[in-house]
Structure formats: C-alpha cells, structure tokens
A = this chain, B = another copy of it.
C-alpha cells in the first residue's frame, strides 16, 4: 500500500516508516524537524544524537534495500501540502505531524500558540488535501487517551451510548483533557468527526497512551536507526525518563501521590497498532476510534518496576515524590476499554523485566551523555503564560 507518514522524523514516525517498508508497503515520510528545533531551543536534546532524515533513509536503504522518499517542509503551508500530494499519491496517511508534548504546551504563551496553531492547521490541511486529491484515502490520525481525561465512569472506545429522559443518543465519548496539547487533540477529533460526517471521509483516530522503548525489529542492527530518546520533563515520556533517572542516580520524580494511572504501550506495539489500522481501513464515512495501549499502570507502579529491575542491576534507583507541577487527579478511577486493536490482531509486548533491563542497559551504555540538569525544571500548569 502507498502510505504517507506525516511527522516521519519523530519518535514514532521514523520507526513506523521502517516497519511498514519491512512489511512490504511503499512509504514516504514528511517532516519539518519541528521537534528537533524545539528541543534545541529549550536545551533538551535527546540522549543520543540522531542523524537527519535523509541520512536515516540512506542508512535504512543500505541496510534493508528499502527506499523511503523524504519531503522536508511545513504542512501548515498549503503550497507544500500540494507539492507532497502531487508527487506521492498516498492510499493511506499516518498523521503524527503535531507538537507532541503536554509540558511544552504549558511552558509559555508562544509555546501554547505554536501547539494550538500547528496541530490544528496541519490536521485541517490533511483533511482538505484528502478531499481535494482523493477522498478515498484512509487517514490514520494519532490521538491520545489523554483526550478522555480521568472520568469517574468507564472509558469506552471512542463513543458513549446515552439514555436520557426516556430517549437515546450515541455521542462521541465526552472529552476533557489535562493539558493544552491534549486539548488540541480533542479539537482534532472534533474536526475529523465533522468532515467525516460532511464529506464521508474514512478516518481512524487512535487514542494512544504514553509509549516507552527504543528498540524495534528493524532498528537493532544499526544505532543510526534508533529513534529520539528524550529524558527531559518536556519531551520525555515517563517510563523512558525513569529509566534514565535510575541510571543517572537522579531519584525518579513522581509527581504528587503518584496514583495517576494511564494506559501504556511498547514502541513496537505502536508500530503494530498503526500497521493493523492501515491494513484494515475504516469504511467510507466512518470515524473509527481505537484505544491504543496494552496495560495500565500508576506512576508509582512504574517507578517501583524500574526501581526493582535497576536495583537488581546494581543501580541505586531511588524514588522521590515531588510537588505535582501539573493540575491533575492524583488518585482516580480508571477503567478504559481497549479491545478494538486486539480484535484486529494485535499481540501485545508487555512491560516485562526483560524489556526494562534492555532499556536500562541501553541507558547505562550512554550514561556519560546524560545531562541531569535537563531532567526536571518544573514546568508548572498554574504559571502565568508570559
């Protein structure tokens, strides 16, 4: 299948590109290096330097034989969108091209505005391009479990059946998120749902939980093919951060009571979920919503898991409860459904001690590169945006 990956340079985008070519698909990638620029500006560079996208595609081609064309440009600009769609006519689009970090979106006013405008404008342009060039294209959009927040009822898979005063209606599951970034993802869903109903587009919206991991089947052969590994408070996901903290002898920073529970998944499962979604497209006029995670953990459980495995490997791996810089429930009900991707054939890779040990080994190998000062800088949700 001809698949266009937007945000193909990212933590998920690049591993997805390799995986889909290895599975026989014809893939092109698009990126404007926004993530790299923001990390450089904020002085939170990834653990290991990552070659640029042209260098990575060259490495992958020399290793695997698969060629991945790379388009470098800004998808908020229609002229660029137009060029990409004319040169590579996709049958499916995987849309990762967003500012992906909740803490960054809460950093200051310009970061907030960038997040809002970038994420919404790219999603709108993707919709307009599909309608203009080929309305049959399947859009696979990365959403987030964070769209649902932490309601006191079960989280269903995208939709909620409501009985009210003797009548019945099926709604998009009501969403209320915990950061501006997550709120832009709600807006994406609002936008996609409107155009699915109006234009009959086919869309899969993947409500993904936090992803952890570095290795995939495709990248083990060459460190040049590894994804970004951010371990800072802005762009690092929690488990990746804890692993680095354990190795760096920097007590793992648990926010508040640590009862915050989320659905997590291994990077390899992201690739499989996205591939299964692409290979089993949504119908015309369908907004298919799938909850994309494999296990739920509280932050305390994650820290304790990392501590246990890291200690068995000789690290101190202390845990430190810090004042919660975010505004969120620290103890709450959490029971989200997630059967859709299992039904499509997902075989989960759970968070075993072996998986953790491999991550810790990798971090230990690069221990000298860890800069502790970039781990925690207290981006507070309640600060003035100036």
- On A, residues with C-beta under 8 Å from B are 78, 109, 112-113, 116-117, 120-121, 124-125, 128, 131-132, 151-154, 160, 162, 164-165, 167-169, 171-177, 179-180, 183, 186-187, 190-191, 193-194, 197-199, 327, 333, 381-382, 384-386
Contacts and interface: CB of A to CB of B under 8 A. Distances in A.
Contacts of A112: 124, 128
B382 A199 contact: yes
A83 B176 CA distance: 33
Nearest 3 A-B pairs (CB), nearest first?
A171-B174, A153-B164, A153-B167
A71 to B, nearest CB: 20
A298 to B, nearest CB: 19
A327 B116 CA distance: 28
Instruction: Identify the interface centre among A131, A152, A191, A198: most chain B CB within 10 Å of its CB.
Output: A198
A198 B329 CA distance: 12
Nearest to A172: B174
Count identical subunits in the complex.
2
Contacts of A132: 109, 384-386
A382 B197 CA distance: 10
A165 B176 contact: no
A134 to B, nearest CB: 11
A141 to B, nearest CB: 16
Nearest to A152: B169
Contacts of A164: 153-154, 160
A382 B198 contact: yes
A186 B176 contact: no
Contact of A160 (B78, B174, B384, B385): B174
A121 B119 CA distance: 12
6 contacts: A117-B117, A120-B187, A131-B385, A151-B169, A152-B169, A183-B194
Given A173-B174, A176-B194, A187-B187, 10 more contacts: A78-B109, A112-B124, A113-B124, A116-B121, A120-B187, A153-B162, A153-B165, A154-B167, A172-B176, A175-B190
